[in-house]
């Protein structure tokens, strides 16, 4: 019997087919050993798996460097418009395997590492979790049914993918005061922190393009003055240095709750101030036309630069750009404002009021006094315009002001972004419509041309080829490999929806993935599950609006039904919930305790047995997502209609052959359109129903008293059935659900339970279930990030996406010489 194909074998089939020139295995082995010996200073007698990972990572990185340099040379020669995507955090996932896939190196690396280790193919087990972000992350795990946070020192052993660029270090100023003189405005007596850039290469898929993610680290501006050294001064100098570098030492996990902390504002301004200095430097030093001419005037900046603000976190880019244009470049206000608004665009990611940033003016006055002056002037001119358009409408002026009056005067950063940008977009059609109809209604009425929609997308390279190579190969066998670059081609699968061989192959791949994940759970969670059960999965941030509590109520209801009728032919389920709560979010943390407490009871009930298991997935992150998503049968997307901006997890599950149970919220709406609503399990209130209930009033007690199974489940939570050692442990959840639940869990309970019954019934018919899966995979074309970015480019940034393939360097080092 032939040996079963591994994931690496399946990816190899895809990566080799149709591609000319596999990289030389001998050269890879030579470079691997060179890095092991000369970069890491190790031999195989003392090298660890981490050393082997770093040797392989540096070997693969060598193949990036030439392409990276050539890409930058190409941009310099062509002088195209450049896009700067400003975000406070990036969830990158693992870099090594993604890079090998994109450079078509994976098969050669597999063979080289196999040979280097004398046939012991360590392969990708060397791949550590290689996150990239501006700030250190938090590692979260579960202890005694609680979420506990601990620092994750992810740079302890270094990062082979990043390159420090100290030659481009930039000063960032804080505090001080503003002087208005006949010569101009000066921001003086400031405290300076240096921003040190670190560059990470981001390779395109087999097009030799390698773009750059630039991250900034805070450094103290000067060393100690040893001439004036004394003990007290030394200690204070150390403290001051630590204070300066704290800016990039820890990230405040915002998580849909805004807290106006000075360090967070420092972080936000630090990023944009460093980046804008970098943008101006690059703009002025770019090749201009056929000659190298330094641009001395920023008037053409919007022709060569697009700045995309990812939510309001980088909103200070607007007053900072104005400060540069006014105080450094000495532009007149009108010209500066025209440059600023034509350069900047704003993406909104939430409709929840508590998530919108509002910075106190006294904090801004102390930390960034010049910027507050500029914001006040922006607001004065903005309100003058509104007053002319709507004379006498003082309430509208109040609603649209950038400055919110009250007990504490605050700056509404979303309003600043809208006024200071030429385009504003949501990230799913329903989300963008809600912004225009409610949250930003006044602004939409004034400037309807600004408002757009850009539905989110995912990359099929990571979220199919890399994480689910078996499914990627099954698809390629039917429709070829071009779908990897053009996801719309998945529609061709509709011609095979009744093909028994495709139905068989897709079901087989799913079962293989479930077996693998079952083994992973047994190894890492010490839980043995039934791989033939339905894998019912909800993985996302823990938040009330995501409604993990609705899932909990279904689990309890199902548990009670099995207890009541143990001999019934129940569809076995393994329900897995994963995610992290913001460290200060009490209710979210309590929800985690409830999930784990329910699991403790259910999983040890001998009557229930393998028919129902409940698992909380600790420390959920991209790496775990790459394992659980390909193994999932059912994707839970059950937020209250009108609260989820878009979601991308829903798209990842859909692409990997999971069916969706969900509300008409976020991108679910468009998923139902693409796959056919009959091929999703849609339930519950629509946005209009939620709005009507908001007006008429939501009475949770009415549902509680009217629905016996709901009452039973709530009484069990309240009475300590799931917390026998502390009966009132979940009293805050019970009180919230019964008396002040903004997200109306009970209102959708009956519809959700009935929809879950349909799910269970269909799962008993594997052929019909898999046909529905094929419809979903075929409908995923719209949800490619390639489509999303192309739309941003054409419709916001004023650029045509380049299809030009940059010539590859002759060898990994040749790009530097050409």
**Per-residue pLDDT tens digits for 671-710:** 999 999 999 999 999 999 999 999 999 999 999 999 999 9
- Which pLDDT tens digit goes with each residue over 542-578? 999 999 999 999 999 999 999 999 999 999 999 999 9
The better pLDDT of the pair 22, 100 is held by: 100
Active site residue 212: no
The answer to whether 617 and 576 have CB atoms below 8 angstroms apart is yes
Active site residue 686: no
E strands, 204-244, are: 210-219
Active site residue 249: no
Q: What pLDDT is attached to residue 294?
A: 67
E strands, 170-304, are: 170-174, 177-181, 184-188, 191-203, 210-219
- Lowest mean pLDDT of 139-148, 644-653, 748-757, name the range: 139-148
Range list of H helices, 324-448 = 333-343, 361-367, 369-389, 394-400, 413-419, 429-434, 441-446
**Residue of 124, 382, 541, 775 marked active site:** 541
Q: Over 60: is that where the pLDDT of 781 sits?
A: yes
Q: Over 50: is that where the pLDDT of 618 sits?
A: yes
| pLDDT class of 796 with cuts at 50, 70, 90 | very high
| pLDDT class of 786 with cuts at 50, 70, 90 | very high
**Residue of 11, 546, 554, 613 marked active site:** 546
The answer to whether 717 and 734 have CB atoms below 8 angstroms apart is yes
Beta-carbon contacts of 23 under 8 Å, excluding residues fewer than 6 positions away, are 63, 104, 105, 108
The answer to whether 490 and 777 have CB atoms below 8 angstroms apart is yes
Q: What pLDDT is attached to residue 817?
A: 43
- Lowest mean pLDDT of 72-86, 239-253, 459-473, 504-518, name the range: 239-253
Q: Are strands 534-539 and 634-637 parallel, antiparallel or unpaired?
A: parallel
The answer to whether 294 and 272 have CB atoms below 8 angstroms apart is no
Given phi > 0 = left and psi -120 to 50 = alpha, else beta, which region is 616? beta
Active site residue 540: yes
Q: What pLDDT is attached to residue 226?
A: 46
**Mean pLDDT over residues 599-606, rounded?**
96
Q: What pLDDT is attached to residue 246?
A: 81
**Mean pLDDT over residues 647-674, rounded?**
98
**Residue of 95, 640, 648, 770 marked active site:** 648
**Residue of 173, 295, 349, 409 marked active site:** 349
- Lowest mean pLDDT of 72-86, 147-161, 415-429, 495-509, name the range: 147-161
**Residue of 540, 547, 554, 775 marked active site:** 540
Q: Over 80: is that where the pLDDT of 255 sits?
A: no
- Reported as type and span, the H/E element at residue 551 is helix 548-564
Active site residue 332: no
Identify the top-confidence range among 127-136, 345-354, 725-734: 725-734
- Which pLDDT tens digit goes with each residue over 371-405? 999 999 999 999 999 999 999 999 999 999 999 99
Q: Over 70: is that where the pLDDT of 6 sits?
A: no
- Identify the DSSP state of 248: G
Q: How far is CA 471 from CA 74, 458, 651, in A?
A: 36, 17, 15
Q: Among residues 132, 360, 136, which one has the least CA distance to residue 258?
A: 360
């Amino acid at each position: 019997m032939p040996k079963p194909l591994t994931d690496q074998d399946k990816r190899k089939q895809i990566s080799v087919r149709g591609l000319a020139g596999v990289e030389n295995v001998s050269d890879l082995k030579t470079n691997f050993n060179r890095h092991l010996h000369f970069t890491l200073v190790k031999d195989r007698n003392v090298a660890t798996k981490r050393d082997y990972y770093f040797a392989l990572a540096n070997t693969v990185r060598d193949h990036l460097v030439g392409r990276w340099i050539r890409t930058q040379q190409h941009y310099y020669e062509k002088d195209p418009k450049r896009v700067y995507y400003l975000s406070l955090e990036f969830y990158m996932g693992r870099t090594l395997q993604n890079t090998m896939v994109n450079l078509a190196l994976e098969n050669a690396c597999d063979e080289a590492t196999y040979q280097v280790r004398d046939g012991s193919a360590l392969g990708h087990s060397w791949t550590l979790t290689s996150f990239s972000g501006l700030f250190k992350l938090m590692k979260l795990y579960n202890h005694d049914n609680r979420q506990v946070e601990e620092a994750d020192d992810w740079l302890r052993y270094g990062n082979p993918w990043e390159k420090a660029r100290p030659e481009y270090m930039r000063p960032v100023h804080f505090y001080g005061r503003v002087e208005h003189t006949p010569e101009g405005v000066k921001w003086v007596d400031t405290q300076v922190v240096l921003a040190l850039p670190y560059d990470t290469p981001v390779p395109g898929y087999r097009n030799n393009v390698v773009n750059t993610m630039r991250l900034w680290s805070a450094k103290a501006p000067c060393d100690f003055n040893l001439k004036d050294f004394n003990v007290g001064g030394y200690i204070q100098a150390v403290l001051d240095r630590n204070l300066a570098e704290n800016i990039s030492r820890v990230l405040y996990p915002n998580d849909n709750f805004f807290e106006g902390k000075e360090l967070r504002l420092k972080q936000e301004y630090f990023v944009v101030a460093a980046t804008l200095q970098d943008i101006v430097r690059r703009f002025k030093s770019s090749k201009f036309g056929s000659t190298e001419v330094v641009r001395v005037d920023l008037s053409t900046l919007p022709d060569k630069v697009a700045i995309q603000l990812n939510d309001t976190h980088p909103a200070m880019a607007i007053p900072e750009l104005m400060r540069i244009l006014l105080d450094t470049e000495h532009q007149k206000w009108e010209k500066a404002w025209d440059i600023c608004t034509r350069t900047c665009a704003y993406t909104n990611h939430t409709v929840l009021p508590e998530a919108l940033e509002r910075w106190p003016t006294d904090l801004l006055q102390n930390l960034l006094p010049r910027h507050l002056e500029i914001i006040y002037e922006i607001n004065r001119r903005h309100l003058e315009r509104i007053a002319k358009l709507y004379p006498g409408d003082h309430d509208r002026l109040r609603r649209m002001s950038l400055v919110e009056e009250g007990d504490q005067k605050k700056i509404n950063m979303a309003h600043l972004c809208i006024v200071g940008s030429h385009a504003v977009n949501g990230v799913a059609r329903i989300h963008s419509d809600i912004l225009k109809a409610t949250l930003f209604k006044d602004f939409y009425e004034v400037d309807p041309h600004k408002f757009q929609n850009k539905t989110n997308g995912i990359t099929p390279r990571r979220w199919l080829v890399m994480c689910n190579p078996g499914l990627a190969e099954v698809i390629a066998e039917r429709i070829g490999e071009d779908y990897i670059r053009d996801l719309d081609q998945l529609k061709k699968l509709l011609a095979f929806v009744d093909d028994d061989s495709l139905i068989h192959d897709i079901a087989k791949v799913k079962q293989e993935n479930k077996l693998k994940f079952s083994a992973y759970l047994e190894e890492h969670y010490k839980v043995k599950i039934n791989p033939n059960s339905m894998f019912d999965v909800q993985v996302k941030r823990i938040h009330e609006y995501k409604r993990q509590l609705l899932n909990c109520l279904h689990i309890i209801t199902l548990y009670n039904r099995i207890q009541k009728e143990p001999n019934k032919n129940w569809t076995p389920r393994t329900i897995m919930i994963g995610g992290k709560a913001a460290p200060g979010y009490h209710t979210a943390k309590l929800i985690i305790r409830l999930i784990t407490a329910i699991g403790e009871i259910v999983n040890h009930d001998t009557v229930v047995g393998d028919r129902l298991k409940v698992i909380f997935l600790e420390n959920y992150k991209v790496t775990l997502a790459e394992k659980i998503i390909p193994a999932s049968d059912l994707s839970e997307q059950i937020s209250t209609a009108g609260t989820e901006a878009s979601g991308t997890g829903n798209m990842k599950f859909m692409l990997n052959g999971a069916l969706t149970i969900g509300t008409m919220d976020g991108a679910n709406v468009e998923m139902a359109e693409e796959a056919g609503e009959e091929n999703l399990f849609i339930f519950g209130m629509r946005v209009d129903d939620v709005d009507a209930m908001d007006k008429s009033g939501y009475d949770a007690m009415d549902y509680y008293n009217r629905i016996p199974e709901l009452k039973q489940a709530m009484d069990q939570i309240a009475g300590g059935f799931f917390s026998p050692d502390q009966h009132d442990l979940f009293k805050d959840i019970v009180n919230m659900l019964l008396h002040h639940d903004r997200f109306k869990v009970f209102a959708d309970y009956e519809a959700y339970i009935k929809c879950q019954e349909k799910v269970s019934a269909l799962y008993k018919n594997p052929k019909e279930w898999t046909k529905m899966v094929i419809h979903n995979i075929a409908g995923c074309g719209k949800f490619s990030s390639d489509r999303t970015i192309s739309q941003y480019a054409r419709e916001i940034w004023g650029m045509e996406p380049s299809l030009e393939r940059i010539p590859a360097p002759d060898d990994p080092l040749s790009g530097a010489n050409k």
